[in-house]
Structure 1
Amino acid sequence: MSNKLEFKNAMLRMLRARIPFISIKSIERSRVLEVIQELAEEINIPMYVHSLSHGMADIKTKKTVNDDRSVVGGIDFAVQNISQRQNLTFIFTEVSNIEDDNIVSRHIYDCVVQAIERGGCICMISTKSVWSQLQRLGMTVTLDPPNEEEMLSIVKDCVLPYQNAFPIEWGEKDFKMAAAILANMTRIEAENVLATQMAKGSLTKDDISKLSQEKDKLFSDISGLEKVKIHPEMLSVGGLDGLQQWLESQKQLLTADLKSRKLRPPRGVLLVGVPGCGKSLSAKFIAATWNLPLYRLDFAAIQGMYVGQSENRLKEAFESADNASPCILWIDEIEKGLAANANDSSGVTTRMIGQFLFWLQESTKKVFVVATANDVTKLPPELLRKGRFDELFFVDLPEEQERADIISLYIEKNVLPHPSAETLEKLISISSGFAGSDLEGAVRDVAIQAVINGDECVDDALYENCFRNIVPLSKTSPERIEAIRSWGKERALPASGLSWGSSYDMVAARRTIII
């Protein structure tokens, strides 16, 4: 059932019950009035709508009945008529200063009290909260932006009338994909995006991805989140067979109709492993592969100095992500934001953990979370239990063949002369225990010398010297790396898709190459 239909049924019951005060929460006044106008025809009761541009008008005939455009004038008109006639309904579309106890809210309160005696009804459309004393006289109903079901109808109504005017390549599957992308936008926003695409005189299957880009522009500066630009051509990916196969299945679930089986959309993945092995870049890879916008949640930026500020900011960030769905939400080094802290006497971290877990469990929006962690031991155990994230993967240090591939990829990326086969074998041996970032750093040092002294200085000796100058984390902190790997073997799936069984210098399987 669409939210619009639920809203209409709720309003119908309230109007028939003659609830004296109805607070309607919505950012789409036109959709609300459209539904109320339909109800006015169905139940045949007099309804009047007030706006600052037209004053008070009959909702069915559009005829102005009171020229006073001010809110106070509209309320006075409602009070006067409610005292003379029964079962009148008045809808106010633009009322400010109703959150607190003030002259306007008390004026409306008195009007509602009179409506109780005469079977009248006062409706207010607003996005703000209502003064508690006033709200207790009535009920609240919400009209959210169109969901996928309603958006599908909006998309078809916008596109199909033009099917004889210019080429339209979309089939039923494409319409459903467009509806999934545009869901949670307002109707006018979705119609504007579609009209922009159709303005070129055709509608092709390639335009589906452009819808996501246009929606992304509307949410490019949303509260609590940082928009991350993605350059797919800069991503070179190899390995991660197990993770990639799992992601492919999740992508299908992200676009499939799951309502019939009562399933929620895929919630996300937690990537753990050795620092510098490409966990963070995996988020960009997923967003690029799925052609979805990527937003980064920074817990440090959310922290506030006042009581409740951090929790409110986190709530706003999650609401923003829900509105931007479908999208990828990247939480880098999640342990730094949600680590259990014994010295946290204020309880802020505990409340933020609870808020995050609640959203992760209850949100039904198509927001796919990609969280990365280097030290999972700092995370609260309730975050790691089955059902929070859809899966937990471990990204390990690259093996011999992987190191060979990574070195070659970075050499090609930096447009460098290749070393001899014998030297390449030496580099593979020297780089035992290197993370992907260590290999990148070694090749970058070679590239820097090439820029300074020219390509003629790049020889086998330079490659070998640059690689020997790198001291990886696996050698400076071997205990830390071994602890991370031991934890991953016991609790996570290998990103390679292969079973655990040997150390990183003995496994011949491919795992991860991301540059």
Structure 2
Amino acid sequence: MSDTTEFKATLTRYLKARIPFISIRSAERARVLDLMREVVATLNAPVYVHTLSQGTRELATGRSVNEDRSAAGAVDFASQQFAQRQNLSVVLTEISDIEDDTASARHLLDVVMLAAEHSGVVVVITTKPVWGQLQRAGMSLALSYPTEDEMHAIIRENLDAYRSHFPIEWDADDERRAAAILAGISRIEAENIIATLLANGRVSKADMVELMHAKDRIFADISGIERVAVRGTELNVGGLGGLKSWLDKERPLLTADLRERGIRPPRGVLLVGVPGCGKSLSAKAIAANWGLPLYRLDLSTIHGQYLGQSESRLKDALATADHVSPCVLWIDEIEKGLAGAQGGGDGGTSTRLVGQFLYWLQEARARVFVVATANDVSKLPPELLRRGRFDELFFVDLPTPQERREIIDIYIQRGLKQAMPEELMTELVELSDGFAGSDLESAVREVVKQAYLDGDAAVTPDLFRRSFINVVPLSKTAPEQIENIRAWGRERAVPASGQPIGAAPNQPRPRRQVLG
């Protein structure tokens, strides 16, 4: 049974039972009223609906019954009608100030009591909670956004109306994929997006990317997570062959319909390892390669000064991520945001945040692919590492000689637009033993800066050598720290490079006497 079918069945029972007060939590007023018309058609009882634009009308026929368009006037009119007739239902769509014990809430409660005496029903459509004493006078309902199946029906209905007028390239699989992308938004928002595509005079397979961007724009101003712009031309990641192979295998599953198999879409990866080796860049590269929007959740901004504020902010941020799915959610240095979970020095807030995050990670079914990164593995809560939380735990080590060659070539091609002589490349790979990816970028950047200032003629093998020799990597300044990180990774993680972690011990780098 779909959510909409269950909603209609429950609403029908409530109306037949003459529950005096029914609150419906939904942001889709028009959709709720459409469903109510279907329900009312099966019942032999009058139903009035009030809106600010049209006053009070009969729901079935649209005939006006009260010209007063104010919410207060609608409540007074309902009170008069309940005193005069039996089995009347009144739907209020614009009632306000009923979340707490206010004069409006007490007035409405009095009207509900009058309705109960005459088998009447007051229905309130709202997006906010209802004052407890008022809510206990009746029952509550919630109408969720359309499910994937319902969204598929909406898409097919809107496209079928134009198939004889416009070329529409989408097949059944494309419609299913579009439904997965648009899940989490309202019917009218989905119809607006489809109408925008139809305004081009055709619907092509390439429009699937525009579908993601259009949904993304709906949530562009929602707080909690930050939209990160990704430029694919700058996001080549050298090495990490094991991680890339795993991602290629998982990619089709993110938008596939897996319900018949009883499995959920991929939930994400936890990347741990040596600082500066491409963990954060990998999050951006995944979003760019998969053609998905990238959002960043900064846990340091989640923490608030009041009790429960941090948990509320995290809940809102994760709910926003669910709404903008399918997407990639990047959580950088996750251990810093959850640092108090083990020590308990923050009154238990971090522990509660960990529990809330893990519950969402395990139970949520939205197509949100999480890429969490961590440098200080000693601060990671143990429960975060349990199998089943993330789909995989990868260790990002110092790049191997072959990976260093790839990374150096990427930065040289990007900054100098030229090929590196093989002999010099081999020499630089040897000089960069123990370098992290950030160290390699820094060394090449110095050469690129010199080329910009003095011209490409200034780029010589000696300039490359000096630039690489002047970099002192973390593996030289803190080798014990690197070895401790590697020892942790060998026992708990899969190597992102596809090679054994720290298999080739670092050898002392040769120091060359460079003239000039």
What's the TM-score once normalised by structure 1's chain length?
Answer: 0.95
1:20 aligns with 2:17: no
* Deviation of 1:501 (Å): 7.8
- Per-residue deviation, residues 261-283 of structure 1 (Å, max 9, x unmatched): 33222211111111111111111
Q: Which residue of 1 aligns with 2:430?
A: 429
- Which aligned pairs between 1:365-404 and structure 2 lie closer than 5 A? 365-404=366-405
Larger mean CA deviation between 78-87 and 173-182 belongs to 78-87
Matches within 5 A, 1:103-502: 103-339=103-339, 340=341, 342=343, 344-415=345-416, 420-498=421-499, 502=503
CA distance in 1, matches of 2:136, 2:208: 46
The one-letter amino acid of 2:103's match is I
Larger deviation: 336-345 or 120-129?
A: 336-345
Instruction: Specify the SS of the correspondent of 1:45.
Output: coil
Task: Measure, in 1, the Cα distance between the counterparts of 2:420 and 2:173.
Answer: 50
What secondary structure, in the 3-state scheme, does the structure 2 residue paired with 1:272 have? strand
**CA apart distance, 1:245:** 2.6
**Partners of 2:421 and 2:55 in 1: CA distance:** 83
Amino acid paired to 2:429: I
Q: Which amino acid aligns with 1:89?
A: S
Letter in 2 for 1:410: Y
| Structure 1 unpaired stretches of 5+ | 507-515
Task: Give a deviation string over 1:326-369, Cα, whole Å, max 9, x none.
Answer: 11110001001012352624222112111111211221111111
Match of 1:97 in 2: 97
Residue 77, structure 1, aligned to residue 81, structure 2: no
The one-letter code sitting in structure 1 at the alignment partner of 2:298 is D
Partners in 2 of 1:67 and 1:504 — Cα distance? 84
Q: Which residue identity does 2:191 align to in structure 1?
A: E
Residue 263 to residue 396, structure 1, CA distance change in 2 (3 Å) = same
Distance 2:207 2:103 in 1: 52
Contact 1:22 1:123 in 2 (8 A): yes
Cα distance change, pair 345–197 in 1 and its aligned pair in 2 (3 A): closer
Q: Secondary structure of the residue that 1:205 maps to in structure 2? A: coil
Query: Contact (CA 8 Å) 1:56, 1:69: kept in 2 or not?
Result: yes
Q: In the TM superposition, what is the alpha-carbon distance from 1:216 to its structure 2 partner?
A: 1.1
Of 336-345 and 273-282, the range deviating more from structure 2: 336-345
Letter in 1 for 2:223: S
Decide whether aligned partners of structure 1 residues 437 and 334 sit closer, same or farther in structure 2, where only a CA change above 3 A counts: same
The change in CA–CA distance for 1:25 and 1:184 in structure 2 (over 3 A counts) is same
Residues 235-259 of structure 1: CA deviation (Å, up to 9, x unaligned): 2234333222322332222222222
Contact 2:274/2:396, CA 8 A, preserved across alignment: yes
> Secondary structure in 2 aligned to 1:23?
strand
When structure 1 is superposed on structure 2, of 232-241 and 351-360 the one drifting more is 232-241
What is the identity percentage for the equivalent residue pairs of Structure 1 and Structure 2?
56
Cα deviation, residue 103, structure 1: 1.1
Give the drift of 1:6.
2.1
- How far is 1:201 from its partner? 0.9
Moved more, 82-91 or 21-30: 82-91
Alignment check: 8 A CA contact 2:209 2:291 kept: yes
Contact kept, 8 Å, 1:268 with 1:368, in 2: the verdict is yes
CA, structure 1 residues 343+168, in 2 after alignment: closer, same or farther (shift >3 Å)?
A: closer
Q: Is the 8 A contact 2:239 2:407 kept in 1?
A: no
RMSD value, Cα: 1.6
Partner SS state of residue 393, structure 2: strand
Structure 2 alignment gaps of length 5 or more? 508-516
Alignment deviations for residues 427-454 of structure 1 (CA, whole Å, 9 cap, x no partner): 1111111011100000001111111222
Q: Work out the CA distance in 2 between the residues paired with 1:12 and 1:291.
A: 43
SS of residue in 1 equivalent to 2:416: coil
For 1:359, the aligned partner's letter is W
Instruction: Give the whole-Å Cα distance in 2 for the aligned partners of 1:504 and 1:218.
Output: 51
Could you say what secondary structure the match of 2:84 adopts?
coil
| Cα deviation digits, residues 309-331 of structure 1 (max 9, x gap) | 21111111011111111111100
Query: Aligned-pair distance for 1:488?
Result: 0.8
Paired residue type of 1:33: L
**Which residue does the alignment assign to 2:512?**
none
Give, in angstroms, the shift of residue 187 of structure 1: 1.3
Aligned to 2:63: 63
TM-score (norm 2): 0.95
Whole-angstrom distance in 1 between the partners of 2:505 and 2:322:
40
In structure 2, C-alpha distance between the alignment counterparts of 1:416 and 1:179, rounded to whole Å: 42
What secondary structure does 1:265 align onto? coil
Conserved? CA contact 1:400–1:505, under 8 Å = no
The answer to whether the 8 Å contact 2:401/2:429 transfers is yes
Larger RCO (CA under 8 A, 6+ residues apart): 1
Q: Distance in 2 between matches of 1:95 and 1:245?
A: 55
State the alpha-carbon separation in 1 of the partners of residues 10 and 263 from structure 2: 26
Instruction: Report the equivalent of 2:510.
Output: none
Cα distance in 2, alignment partners of residues 338 and 385 from structure 1: 16
Cα distance between partner residues in 2 of 1:160 and 1:50: 33
CA shift, 1:144, in A, is: 1.6
Measured in 2, the distance between the counterparts of 1:289 and 1:447 equals 27
Amino acid at match of 1:126: T
Matched with 1:46 is 46
| SS of 1:146 mapped into structure 2 | coil
* Aligned counterpart, 2:86: 86
Count residues in correspondence.
506
Q: C-alpha distance in 2, partners of 1:460/1:499?
A: 33
Deviation by residue 1:22-66 (Cα, 9 ceiling, x = unmatched)? 110111100000000100001232111011121111101110111
Q: Is the CA contact 1:66–1:77 (under 8 Å) kept in the aligned structure 2? A: yes
